[in-house]
Structure 1
Amino acid sequence: MRYAILGTAQANHDDGTPVAVGGARLRALLTALALRPGRVVPARLLVAEVWDADPPADAVPALQALVARLRRALGHAAVRSAEGGYELAAAREDIDLYRFERLVRAGGAATDPAEAAARYDEALALWRGPALADLPDPGAEAARWEAVRTDARRGRLAAALALGEAQRALPELTALCAQHPMDEPLHVLRIRALRDAGRPAEALAAYDVVRRELADRLGTDPGPELRALHGELLASDPAPEPLPATATATAVTATSTAASAAPAPAAVTAGNLRARLTTFVGREDDIRTIGDDLAGARLVTLLGPGGAGKTRLSQEAAEAQDESAWPDGVWLVELAPIDGPGDPEDVAEATLAALGARETKLRGAAAEELRAFTERAGDDPLDRLAEHCARRRLLLLLDNCEHVIAAAATLAERLLTHCPGVRILATSREPLGVPGESLRPVEPLPDPIAMRLLGDRGAAARAGFLDDQHTAAAHEISRRLDGRHLAIDLGAD
């Protein structure tokens, strides 16, 4: 005889023929006995498990009558009488719960992922519903077996990742993580699956959600395994995700639209920095310092008053870096045209426009082939921007952040946490306040450099601008302009 208690209690003959076990009390008695096959279960314990908090006044006779009914169903030899209790004549292998336990152990011990997957599949197939479902109060015992079941599902999903089945495993992992939000090993598997499925931005976002949940609910940080995985994601070398050739060939129109739209990733270029029309005077030491800052921090903010020359300095510093550091380009995002205080979506749209990744309406085969990209990124500009940048290595120059400081900070934090290959050089009159931000003040030009700049700009406007008789006046102009780059530019004109 075989017994099943992973779900509603059942009994089957060795040939698979089912045995009718009717009545909730009868199934509860079978469950209580099957939990301890080949062992004598005291009558008082059987009464407590079958009737829970509502035992009959004549509990012992009631139990004897129930045992008699079970013997009529299973056969008299199936339930033995012993001093003080009863025993189910069965081996552990006859009970689905213990076969499940053996198979889970075999799956965990297997070195071959395919073998592990097969054992876990066989084990999990034994479940037909909640463990010990017919006991009035299964309590801690059922919870223990549910935990083993979760371990088995975790092991099966780990085997799936080892077999390259990340995409297939993601729906179940997502559901399990929602059911067990504090289960770090499950979250490790889901983040790994997102990474292996080519969705690094979502993997970083998933880590951030777990980190916040742990902090909010438990006041703790992620454990070593999660932190190590996060480090791997940040240190990985993101490669651009190319569009299908047919999609690239047929993406023809460029009208902004909210319906049937898909973001078209720009081809790898050197970025959008324009050639400057005037010479750059001084600040060579600042350029070197900013380069060092960018090597050690993913967000560097140049701080200074209006007209200090932050914009020009950021562009010169960006171009002075080794081009191989930014294979996907250096991109200037001009935020001054956005009305303050700005919305994160406005800043994201401006950034998408600068990157050449605004929504485009596609016709022909391109629309169908880019549908998956659209579904992943969604309609939110921040989501689309993170998706666009997730597998690229680029430098963003966020210029004039001060009037949209909160929105710019939101965008910067989103990109830095979701896009490991992105670094940001911002200019602002105040810090963005994003974790990890490195601040670099832009001081007024010292007198000698201010004079050089004034002479350079003045000479471009009028020959002989700084002749001997005008030197004193030029010094006075420079002093009054307080060494501010923009004011000197304008004053020279």
Structure 2
Amino acid sequence: MVAAAFTQTPEIDTAAARLVAGGFREEHAEEKAEVDEPRLGGETVADGAGETGIADPRHAAVTSSSAMLMASGFVAVPGKAKAEVLGVPRLSFGGTELSFGRAEASDLFALLSTSPEGLSTQSIIDTLWPGDDGRGRRLLESAVRQLNQVMRQASGLAVEVKFVPKVRQRRQLAAAHFDVDYWRFEKAFIGAGSAGEEPARLAALQEMLALYQGPLLAGRDALWIVPLRQAAQRQAVDAAERLAELVRVGDPDRALDVLRLAVERIDPYSEMLWCQLMTVQGELGRQLAVRRSFGLLQERLAEIDAAPSRQARQIFERFVR
């Protein structure tokens, strides 16, 4: 079967590509070697990530909590297809990656993966194939047939099983047969806001960060994706900020892990994240880390023709004299 858009090589912006590939973390290799050298006055750096607090994956000193944060927290329910759309989209069943022979099936799957409640026929056509209802309906029927066929071949289920049923005039991916990381992410986001006990909030925020492996449907550039992608990024940034704040007093190193993850994988241009990171580093007395973080913030903002705000400079100057 010829792979369609779901398995194409993604064309994502430079920053997103660096986040997915981990290139941002590699920039700290030289710094890691430097800070492992003895400090002036006989001081040495004891923590595993160096004074910068930015871990390099090529060193054994990566903390277990950081590794846990960076690893995907998505393990599909046995017997269900695993749909990963937070990052480069992938669909698999039983460990075998699936692909579609036609673009309309890939497009329909991408759209329905962002809506657990499903969408009306007209809404699907208006989103994916606007301007020609007749052609749109034919493409939708073709897409549904292929989705059913691909899933039927992968799962071995009977021909009567509908993987993309119409429920109350809305097409949807059958929750009985698909486990979608984005659905879990949204559920965890709601849970983080409604949980009454701190352990439950912590667990929900941790799950969000483990699930967020990159921009929603990375590599796909359809206009309908943009607002959903931006919303998911904002939710992930919010989760990182809240989790870091919750653990900051009792476990500042874990807070640093969370914030490093956020500026590496989620939003390298968020001054709020960088400011929070520099504040925790500064409170731990890691001046070199603050200096390096501020330098990286300047580099990132320069990519979008911007510069650090007055607030960011004040935080930097507060800890680096």
When the two structures are superposed, what TM-score results if normalisation uses the length of structure 1?
0.36
Report how far residue 18 of structure 1 moved: 5.7
Letter in 2 for 1:186: L
Q: Which residue of 2 aligns with 1:31?
A: 110
Q: Which residue of 2 aligns with 1:86?
A: 171
Letter in 2 for 1:102: K
Give ranges in structure 1 of 5+ residues lacking alignment. 235-416, 420-493
- The CA distance in 2 between the partners of 1:156 and 1:132, in whole Å, is 25
Letter in 1 for 2:98: A
Report how far residue 29 of structure 1 moved: 1.0
SS in 1 for 2:149: helix
Give the direction of change, closer, same or farther, for the CA distance of 1:105–1:204 in structure 2 (3 Å limit): farther
> Counterparts in 2 of 1:75-224, with a 5 A limit?
76-81=161-166, 86-90=171-175, 94-107=179-192, 118-133=203-218, 136-137=221-222, 138-159=225-246, 161-162=248-249, 163-165=251-253, 168=257, 171-172=260-261, 175=264, 179-180=268-269, 183-200=270-287, 203=290, 217=306, 221-222=310-311
Letter in 1 for 2:240: R
How many residue pairs get aligned? The number is 222
* Percent identity (aligned): 19
Q: Deviation string for 1:73-128 (max 9, x for gaps)?
A: 3354222236876333338x953212112224444667887765543333333345
Do the aligned partners of 1:120 and 1:152 also contact (CA within 8 Å) in 2? yes
Give the direction of change, closer, same or farther, for the CA distance of 1:26–1:198 in structure 2 (3 Å limit): same
Q: Deviation string for 1:15-58 (max 9, x for gaps)?
A: x5668342343222122223222334224x323544579x7983
Letter in 1 for 2:137: V
Give the direction of change, closer, same or farther, for the CA distance of 1:83–1:56 in structure 2 (3 Å limit): same
Q: Which residue of 2 aligns with 1:46?
A: 124
Structure having the higher strand fraction is 1
Report how far residue 186 of structure 1 moved: 0.7
Q: Deviation string for 1:408-434 (max 9, x for gaps)?
A: xxxxxxxxx833xxxxxxxxxxxxxxx
Give the direction of change, closer, same or farther, for the CA distance of 1:27–1:192 in structure 2 (3 Å limit): same
Do the aligned partners of 1:113 and 1:160 also contact (CA within 8 Å) in 2? no
Give the direction of change, closer, same or farther, for the CA distance of 1:18–1:50 in structure 2 (3 Å limit): farther
Q: Deviation string for 1:420-479 (max 9, x for gaps)?
A: xxxxxxxxxxxxxxxxxxxxxxxxxxxxxxxxxxxxxxxxxxxxxxxxxxxxxxxxxxxx
Report how far residue 189 of structure 1 moved: 1.3
Do the aligned partners of 1:173 and 1:186 also contact (CA within 8 Å) in 2? yes
SS in 2 for 1:46: helix
Give the direction of change, closer, same or farther, for the CA distance of 1:221–1:52 in structure 2 (3 Å limit): farther
Do the aligned partners of 1:205 and 1:418 also contact (CA within 8 Å) in 2? no
Q: Which residue of 1 aligns with 2:98?
A: 20
Do the aligned partners of 1:202 and 1:418 also contact (CA within 8 Å) in 2? no
Give ranges in structure 2 of 5+ residues lacking alignment. 1-79, 153-160
Give the direction of change, closer, same or farther, for the CA distance of 1:67–1:10 in structure 2 (3 Å limit): same
Do the aligned partners of 2:241 and 2:259 also contact (CA within 8 Å) in 1? no
1:418 aligns with 2:283: no
Letter in 2 for 1:139: V
Report how far residue 179 of structure 1 moved: 2.0
- The CA distance in 2 between the partners of 1:177 and 1:30, in whole Å, is 24
Do the aligned partners of 2:244 and 2:258 also contact (CA within 8 Å) in 1? yes
Do the aligned partners of 1:52 and 1:136 also contact (CA within 8 Å) in 2? no
- The CA distance in 1 between the partners of 2:320 and 2:146, in whole Å, is 63
Letter in 2 for 1:32: L
> Counterparts in 2 of 1:362-381, with a 5 A limit?
none
Specify the structure having the higher radius of gyration (Cα).
1
Give the direction of change, closer, same or farther, for the CA distance of 1:10–1:159 in structure 2 (3 Å limit): farther
Do the aligned partners of 2:191 and 2:204 also contact (CA within 8 Å) in 1? yes
Report how far residue 191 of structure 1 moved: 1.6
Do the aligned partners of 1:107 and 1:120 also contact (CA within 8 Å) in 2? yes
Do the aligned partners of 2:104 and 2:139 also contact (CA within 8 Å) in 1? no
Question: CA RMSD of the aligned region, Å?
Answer: 4.6
Do the aligned partners of 1:8 and 1:133 also contact (CA within 8 Å) in 2? yes
Give the direction of change, closer, same or farther, for the CA distance of 1:178–1:133 in structure 2 (3 Å limit): closer
Give the direction of change, closer, same or farther, for the CA distance of 1:198–1:167 in structure 2 (3 Å limit): farther
Report how far residue 169 of structure 1 moved: 5.5
Q: Which residue of 1 aligns with 2:150?
A: 73
